[in-house]
A = this chain, B = another copy of it.
Amino acid sequence: MSTTTLLLQLIVILTTARVCGWLLKHLGQPSVVGEMAAGMVLGPVVMGALFPGVHAELFSKASLGGLTSLSTVGLVLFMFVIGLELRPQQGVRQQVRAAGFVGLLSIAAPLVMGLAIAPVLHPALAPAGVGFWPFALFIGAALSITAFPVMARILKDRGQAGTPFGQLSLSAAAVVDAFAWVLLALVVAMAGTGEGYPGLLKISVGVVVLLAVVYLVLKPAYAWLLRTRAPDGEPSATVLAALMIGLLACSLATEWVHLHAVFGAFLFGTCLPRDDRLLGSLAERIEPLSIVVLMPLFFALAGLNTSASAFSGASLGAMGLIFAVAAIGKIAGGAAGARLAGYDWRDSLATGALMNARGLMELIVIKVGYDAGLIGPELFTMLLVMALVTTAMTGPLMTLIAGRAKTVPVTEAAPST
């Protein structure tokens, strides 16, 4: 893999991502939707079909190692900032029950519906040798993902982050994330290690040990480091390096216990002190490069895994089915949960619509499933399209249900649950 190829790949990917982001921004979409679309455009479905020769040469299999490494680092940095930004929001304690309801039902509905359609999908779309249950559970897990960061971004863009349904959805998304990731990890581990329950046990022990190390050792150690060496919240190069080393070590640890590196990165972010100045200065140092330069690479690599055959004949039917189940399951499940917790219909439906945004998280999930051999290129494509469309529909749906910029602080407006 030459420097020339890598530079050319980076130029093409960044340019496409910005152009698509710019186009879709004019349709009122968050930039992540444009970047996801850019990934599709760079894949075999669009660029590969229009310029097969150029595409085959620019993105040859042998040349993707560099992009993959850069995108891995980007993903780890991205998830770290997401973890860092996660904090108990005002009013969250009152919302624990409500968030639990929404989280549980917005997982259960698409999960059960996913299991229900799995018998239809398995014969035609499962790779050879993948048993029914790992496949079905993966489909269920993939449909039950909610994208915390995209949701946060959409709410922020619309000025609705402080609304009751905004706060409820953010809390519920955290519940969903934790649950769906664990489910996904279990499925992948079951299928991937081929060890069945002993494998699961090993993973569970690994996760418990990791959680103990992160929260009982790293948390106080880094709190001390930051208090003594960066009291103003401005980490020096040495402190930044120490943070990066901790981040990479946690990512590595989750890889070791058969979870994905992104999980450890997120976990490490959550263990740092909730300090606004620290968050601000770290985000300032990390986000520009990781979001502008590195994340588009991840989307492009996802797009390269897609297959044009997903867009023909019977496959289109399967894609429609997957999309319908994903959207209906999430929105209905989320809305039912909020309603049960005492929110009115409007807020409940808004919550359901927000839970339906899958964004980047879904891409990470289907990449994990693809890497583990649980799905092939065709189903990967269908799930990617589903992720793109469910994310893109969130904004318009929210406008329909809740209008724009209704900013009632949650502490005043939360129902007395």
Contact = CB atoms under 8 A, between A and B. Distances in A.
Interface of A: 1, 3-4, 6-8, 10-11, 14-15, 17-18, 21-22, 31, 65-70, 72-73, 76-77, 237-238, 240-242, 244-245, 248-249, 251-252, 255-256, 261, 284-286, 288-293
A1 B288 contact: no
A286 B284 contact: no
A228 to B, nearest CB: 15
16 contacts: A8-B252, A11-B245, A11-B252, A14-B245, A14-B248, A18-B245, A66-B69, A66-B72, A69-B70, A70-B73, A73-B293, A77-B289, A237-B291, A237-B292, A285-B288, A286-B288
A63 B402 CA distance: 51
Contacts of A77: 289
Contacts of A284: 284-285
B18 A242 contact: yes
Given A18-B242, A285-B289, 6 more contacts: A7-B248, A7-B261, A18-B241, A65-B66, A237-B292, A284-B285
A6 B1 CA distance: 17
Contacts of A248: 7, 10-11, 14
A373 to B, nearest CB: 15
A30 B1 CA distance: 34
Contacts of A290: 289
Contacts of A3: 72, 255, 261
Nearest to A296: B241
